Structure 1
């Protein structure tokens, strides 16, 4: 599959206000659901400097409020959390679920994380309101992701241009909604067999829909696409700052008391259990970070 330097598609943009998405285009929401992503701005902007600073420093050793997090690994924090550095990608990453934000994040980063989480939940609510799924089923259908039982992870990515590897492997996000902060070129999405670059827009987040949303809606009148995406290898250019990004992932609860797994919705039947979420998540993550596979399903 080739990369396209020019894009024939007009990617959608919306402003989120009072839990409603206001798109620039008349059919913007419908197109965004087909694309699997769109740009969004909150009605009231919030300070992103703490997250930007953390993304530029978390991997550095030594003392400091925003550095030294490379010592926090799965051993200390539990499964799928902490610092990861893999040879197959240029990225080194730090994952932290909301249950530990108050304990480990600097206060300003925690505040920003909470605002990104609220933004993700409000985007999901706005999208669900446009689908033909009864509101009484939303909590069960989405694995309680909009409540405290959900899995809410803030992930930071630092791209190491001196490493001769892909930037970040082809994958689809596992869950419902991802709110991504990305300031430099490098992100690409797969559409109709071609890879298209997504140029950043100042002041906007990128919203990706994940596999859980795609599975839930695939039999409805308005199916939502989970977008396959990647980050291309970053060149080593002396004097150029390293690429970074970070994202809030909105996922189902990992507690089976609240979430049996991933469901599909069929208008004449209701919810149908399709997969165990924890196993699904494990598979997506393993295939994303293996050298010779992709995080797809």
Structure 2
């Protein structure tokens, strides 16, 4: 991939990779940037021109608050508050509001089939744009891997199509809670496009933890377990990055609570469409590695328990 022209910043503070998506191609700011990003398991990518994240930021700061507006009776209802009432019982497994006991996070998960019905309209449109951007990044990466194009749909669990599982997830970190920020885990799927504005995210590399500080105007792209499993025996293996968020200290109200949110691209959960996670090897083709639903259940269960981590 070519070096991007006209970028005033060509390297991040710790040498992590930085790219932009241009005409369906990822252009890194250093030579051989993609190879390094595949090894690291993540990279920064510049947000598309004109990106508006105000709806997502507002929701991240508000979804966990009571629906009632504290300004008093008769105040207009804030459509970005009061999302405790949406639970897995109404939305389906792994969706809705969750308050974690072992972590500082309270979270809200929602798959694309519910966006128009649950999210405020502006947020639903932002979610669609983030999904389309994530899928474009996934295609750009796949185009540079040792994987025949005719196998893309089957190999990736039809994640590039409307059959895929596309989830927008929000995290609010409660500094008053004496717990870890967010447990060590790997994302389950293909690519994750993360909006992070505050320090606290760390990745495991070579047995040591390294901070991934936000760069204004960029997203962080993580590769997940499905990508790692698929490519492990190929000429272009992709690492799934193990990451965590460190405990957030109380600020006494001196600054807003930390938040983040991410668009996750996963395989279809319909076994008639996607039988599971595949591994690919040149000359041998695809081999079924695991049922995706069970794999996802295990990753999530181990992520949010106190005595385990979301690895495999």
Normalising by structure 1, report the TM-score: 0.96
Query: How big is each residue's C-alpha offset from its partner over 1:49-107, in whole Å with a ceiling of 9 and x where there is no partner?
Result: 10000000000012421001011111111100000001100000000000000101111
Unaligned runs of 5+ in 2: 1-11, 68-76
Alignment of 1:158-177 (within 5 A): 158-177=172-191
Which residue, 26, 35, 43 being the options, matches 1:21? 26
Q: Which residue of 1 aligns with 2:138?
A: 124
Could you tell me how far apart the structure 2 residues matched to 1:134 and 1:213 are? 15
Relative contact order, CA 8 A, sep 6+: which one is greater?
1
Alignment of 1:70-85 (within 5 A): 70-85=84-99
Using the TM superposition, give the Cα deviation of residue 8 of structure 1 relative to its aligned residue in structure 2, in angstroms: 8.9
- Tell whether 2:194 aligns with 1:180: yes
Counterpart of 1:263 in 2: which secondary structure? Answer: strand
Could you tell me how far apart the structure 2 residues matched to 1:65 and 1:151 are? 25
Is residue 208–residue 227 contact of structure 1 (8 Å, CA) maintained in 2? yes
Could you tell me how far apart the structure 2 residues matched to 1:73 and 1:245 are? 20
Q: Which residue of 2 aligns with 1:282?
A: 297
Query: How big is each residue's C-alpha offset from its partner over 1:88-130, in whole Å with a ceiling of 9 and x where there is no partner?
Result: 0000000000000010111110111001001110111000000
Which residue, 258, 262, 265 being the options, matches 2:273? 258
Cα RMSD (Å) of the superposition? 1.1
- Tell whether 2:74 aligns with 1:53: no
Alignment of 1:193-272 (within 5 A): 193-238=207-252, 239-272=254-287
Using the TM superposition, give the Cα deviation of residue 43 of structure 1 relative to its aligned residue in structure 2, in angstroms: 3.9
Could you tell me how far apart the structure 1 residues matched to 2:48 and 2:246 are? 31
Could you tell me how far apart the structure 1 residues matched to 2:143 and 2:46 are? 19
Could you tell me how far apart the structure 2 residues matched to 1:8 and 1:170 are? 23
Is residue 47–residue 217 contact of structure 2 (8 Å, CA) maintained in 1? no
Could you tell me how far apart the structure 2 residues matched to 1:137 and 1:78 are? 30
Would the alpha carbon gap of residues 160 and 102 (structure 1) be closer, same or farther in structure 2, given more than 3 Å must change?
A: same
Using the TM superposition, give the Cα deviation of residue 45 of structure 1 relative to its aligned residue in structure 2, in angstroms: 3.3
Q: Which residue of 2 aligns with 1:35?
A: 40
Could you tell me how far apart the structure 2 residues matched to 1:192 and 1:40 are? 23
Counterpart of 2:237 in 1: which secondary structure? Answer: coil
Could you tell me how far apart the structure 1 residues matched to 2:14 and 2:99 are? 35
Unaligned runs of 5+ in 1: 1-6
Query: How big is each residue's C-alpha offset from its partner over 1:216-255, in whole Å with a ceiling of 9 and x where there is no partner?
Result: 0000001000000000000001122100000000000000
Counterpart of 2:179 in 1: which secondary structure? Answer: coil
Q: Which moved more, 1:261-270 or 1:41-50?
A: 41-50
Counterpart of 2:280 in 1: which secondary structure? Answer: strand
Is residue 39–residue 238 contact of structure 2 (8 Å, CA) maintained in 1? yes
Counterpart of 1:174 in 2: which secondary structure? Answer: coil
Larger Rg: 2
Could you tell me how far apart the structure 1 residues matched to 2:156 and 2:199 are? 32
Q: Which residue of 1 aligns with 2:73?
A: none
Could you tell me how far apart the structure 2 residues matched to 1:288 and 1:116 are? 24
Counterpart of 1:57 in 2: which secondary structure? Answer: coil
Counterpart of 1:109 in 2: which secondary structure? Answer: helix
Counterpart of 1:250 in 2: which secondary structure? Answer: strand
